Homo-oligomer: A and B are copies of this chain.
Amino acid sequence: MTLISEHIETDTREKILVVAERLFRQIGYQKTTVADIAKELRMSPANVYRFFDSKKAIHEGVARTLMGEVEVEAQRIAQAAGPASVRLRQMIKTINRMNTERYVGDSKLHEMVEIAMQEDWGVCVAHMEMIARTIGQVIGQGAASGEFEVADLQLASLCACTAMMRFFHPQMIAQCATKPGPSIDQMIDFVIAGLSPRAKAN
């Protein structure tokens, strides 16, 4: 019995997040209320509050789902076969593409990002750390194969992520779209150069 009721609970939790994400996309993050979400699910707001103790908790849950999908794609590339530099490029471009689709331009989800940044959500930091670790996995594979030369793997991953901020950070993607700067492929070339074996000092 416990297992079945736990399953139903998880299911309701998921349903709330799916409906919340759809409403955020349709009418925007700020305008969506817990009552709207409850109404769509034909349940009472009180019942929604049994699963999420605040409106913010629902928002974080939706953000977590969206970020989790990017993490799954990045993980898939980290575990695939092929040269590390090819997969690093593919991973960086995938993160850029998914973040651009989700959060930039006309997307109403951009509102959610702005608030998440202002309020300094823990889910964002956890996501950035997960992305840095996944990028670190591929850099580590490249170091093992001799493609890359890395003294401190964790530091190299943080630097690679930081260098790509213009192409990862939703606010920077939006702000820099019309500004002069390198293309994403040119920037990846620069990062790969930074990870490549050095000439020995004369």
Contacts and interface: CB of A to CB of B under 8 A. Distances in A.
Question: How often does this chain occur in the complex, in copies?
Answer: 2
A116 to B, nearest CB: 11
Interface string A128-162: 11001000000000000000000000011011111
A18 B148 CA distance: 52
A186 interface: yes
A175 interface: yes
A196 interface: yes
Interface residues of A, number: 37
Contacts of A32: none
Nearest to A117: B175
A172 B179 contact: no
Given A159-B186, A162-B163, A194-B194, 11 more contacts: A117-B175, A125-B179, A155-B186, A160-B190, A162-B181, A165-B172, A169-B172, A193-B193, A197-B198, A198-B199, A199-B199
